Amino acid sequence: MKITPKNLFRHELLGLSVEAHYLNHVFWGKVVAETRNMVTILTDDNKIKHLPKQLTNFIFKLPDGREAKLSGLQIVGRPYERIKMKRLKRPW
């Protein structure tokens, strides 16, 4: 199953470049770690940022060049819990 915008919430986030909108801040960088409620981003100016999934909106850039918008609410859960998760009908 290739990574697409449709199955991204079930797929691996590590290594994807991302634009994260958290409150009034925007961070550009790469996802380096993930827990149940947090995403860790290595920003382009080499800083580590821990962002809560529930309050952040993400725009991921997939390896094939496509972009995928995703509300953080859709990816709440441990990495191994997300493989069997269902898509939220009303993400916000």
Here's the x/- map for another protein, 27-66, by CB under 8 A: it reads as -----xxx-----x-x------------------------
Does position 12 interact with another protein (CB under 8 A)? The reply is yes
Compute the least distance from the CB of residue 30 to another protein, in Å. 8
Angstrom distance (rounded) from CA 6 to CA 8: 6
Angle, CA of 73, 77 and 80, to the nearest 5°: 140
Does position 15 interact with another protein (CB under 8 A)? The reply is yes
The alpha carbon of 88 is separated from its chain's Cα centroid by a whole number of angstroms, namely: 15
CB neighbours (10 Å) of residue 81? 10
Positions touching another protein (CB under 8 A) are 1-3, 7, 10-12, 14-15, 32-34, 40, 42, 79-81, 83-84
